[in-house]
């Protein structure tokens, strides 16, 4: 019985290795340059078809191009290594704060409605809006699907962007996005720059429309623990929701600082 048990266990290990190897062989392989991108698209499309992605989305994927500009941007995000003062100056914080205060007044009814529903005050939403797209003026002109497909193929972070690619394909299937949708270098779209997976989870409407984008952003923050009335500076309860929005510490602190100044809680020179 002991010998038989050992033999059976050994057979299970062997079968597991074989199944694992087959799974790896069937999976689309990542790459570090444009050379294998077309082959990868064909392999990925077969996997996506087997998981229920529709023909129109897959046709769009097959038309996607290797986005060299996206790879270059992904390798050179130097601004996140700046000090807080340097980052604020580079991103035009004083302009964002000044215009943000004006928008808070002119769009008071919209921001009151959002705060009533989600508990998020205007300041951090306006700061994110200004930081991400200059209040909608700079939403990017890269093909969203090409950018995300390139990053899903690239060996640096394929797992994260594979999830984003599946989300993008689902949104195309649903008609919420198209294969021609334009966005920023990493595939972010809309007035506050949502990735596809977050659109599926938190989107409340057309993200090219400011009101929908701001509501979606507030929905994201609430889902990530935002508590109405609590503070959002570093060390305060709601700062964790800002951390969930963007992983760069200097970005997080900038949003908190600008948001406080837009909400009337400090001067532009405060740090």
**Average of per-residue pLDDT across 129-142:** 97
User: 140-167, pLDDT tens digit by residue?
Assistant: 999 999 999 999 999 999 999 999 999 9
Q: What is the pLDDT, as a whole number, of residue 27?
A: 67
Q: How do residues 252-265 score in pLDDT, each as one tens digit?
A: 999 999 999 999 96
pLDDT (0 to 100) of residue 266: 53
Which residues lie closer than 8 Å to 137 by C-beta, 6 or more apart? none
Residue 20 binned pLDDT confidence (cut-offs 50, 70, 90): very low
Confidence band for 199, pLDDT divided at 50, 70 and 90: very high
């Amino acid at each position: 019985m002991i010998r038989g048990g050992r033999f059976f266990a050994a057979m299970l290990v062997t079968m597991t290795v074989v199944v694992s190897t087959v799974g790896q062989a069937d999976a689309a392989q990542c790459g570090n340059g444009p050379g294998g991108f077309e082959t990868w698209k064909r392999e990925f499309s077969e996997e996506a078809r087997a998981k229920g992605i529709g023909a129109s989305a897959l046709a769009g994927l097959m038309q996607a191009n290797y986005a060299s500009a996206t790879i270059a941007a992904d390798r050179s995000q130097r601004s996140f290594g700046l000090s807080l003062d340097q980052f604020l100056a580079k991103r035009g914080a004083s302009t964002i704060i000044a215009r943000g205060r004006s928008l808070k007044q002119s769009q008071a009814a919209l921001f009151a409605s959002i705060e009533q529903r989600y508990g998020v005050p205007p300041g951090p939403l306006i700061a994110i809006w200004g930081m991400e797209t200059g209040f909608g003026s700079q939403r990017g002109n890269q093909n969203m699907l090409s950018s995300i497909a390139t990053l899903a193929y690239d060996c640096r972070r394929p797992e994260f962007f594979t999830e984003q690619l599946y989300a993008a394909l689902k949104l195309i299937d649903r008609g919420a996005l198209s294969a021609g949708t334009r966005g920023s270098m990493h595939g972010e779209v809309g007035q506050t720059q949502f990735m596809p997976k977050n659109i599926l989870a938190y989107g409340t409407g057309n993200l090219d429309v400011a009101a929908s984008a701001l509501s979606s952003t507030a929905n994201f923050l609430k889902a990530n623990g935002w508590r109405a009335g609590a503070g959002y500076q570093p060390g305060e309860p709601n700062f964790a929701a800002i951390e969930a929005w963007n992983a760069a510490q200097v970005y997080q602190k900038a949003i908190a600082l600008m948001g406080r100044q837009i909400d009337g809680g400090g001067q532009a020179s405060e740090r």
